[in-house]
Amino acid sequence: MARDGGKRAVLIAGPTASGKTALAIARARTRGARIVNADSMQVYGVLDRLTARPNAEELMQARHEMFGHVDPSVRYSTGAWLADAHKQIQEADKENQELIFVGGTGLYFDALVNGFAQVPAIDPEFVRQAEKLIQDRDEAGRMAVLVERDPETARRLKVADPQRVVRALSVLMATGKPLSAFQDANGPGLLDGYALERIVLMPERALLRRRIGERFEAMMQAGAIEEVEALLALDLDPSLPAMKAIGVGEIAAMLRGEMDREDAVERAVTATRQYAKRQSTWFRNRFGDWTFTDPFAG
């Protein structure tokens, strides 16, 4: 189905396990839209079930793009994602097709709507150094490091999640300039001129916690263990983003005999719930003008 006049896009964000895939497919089938992935872990190949990418049946129901299209050996940046997203936007425009961006990576949505700092490519060594600086620190500790080294960027961050702090620190190390200096030179967002429907799915907390636990157990039964075995067989740098996907470390420890299955599941579920909490906080702080809805209410 072609869009009925004007450029339109739907942005569906939310914490992990909040029902984003189901809503995106329902919308896509109604409008004939293409679904574009906006989740930083679902871009990687190999980790199909562990990152909760749409399954084969779901993929058949609508056109999906940018899911599992990046080799896990690659450090896929926000800039690279935007370049790929730009191609999808151009193709959809030529086909007079609506777009649905769906995922849990707030930075991707922020860049789509508000523009993105064109930072030079950062040597992975600086990323590793930044990661070591905040290793084992909680949110307050991460913020303290950033305040000391880049107070202006720290002032702009409402949530000191690891990804954003590492980005800020590695940019400073590599360029000698604070990330805020690049952000001040942002261009327009890729969806500038589009009519946007912006949705954040925010289920009731107890239900979300339960869904996370049930989903991870289902992942284990559906092949997550075999996926981690395949990933480990690639002998990749452990600092790569794909190697840090929630569940990889826990299942790897189980495979090495360092913990049993029950402990691995419990730790991965706990980590996922903590991640969902950080996502929810980020969305509330940054996307206050979006429509928040509980997809399971009533």
Question: Known binding site for ATP: residues?
Answer: 14-21
Count how many residues are written for the chain: 298
Q: What are phi and psi for residue 197, nearest 5 degrees?
A: -110, 120
The span from the CA of 241 to the CA of 75, in Å, is 6
Residue ranges of the annotated binding site for substrate are 16-21
d(CA 132, CA 135) in angstroms, rounded, equals 5
* Exposed e or buried b per residue across 253-282, where buried means at least 16 C-beta atoms within 10 angstroms of its C-beta: ebeeeebeeeebbebbbebbbebbebbbeb
- AA identity, residue 265: V
User: In one letter, which amino acid is 95?
Assistant: E
Binding residues: 14-21
Write the DSSP assignment of 221-290 as a string of letters. IIIIHHHHHHHHTT---TTSGGGGSTTHHHHHHHHTTSS-HHHHHHHHHHHHHHHHHHHHHHHHHH-TTS
Which residues sit opposite 196 in a β-bridge? 9
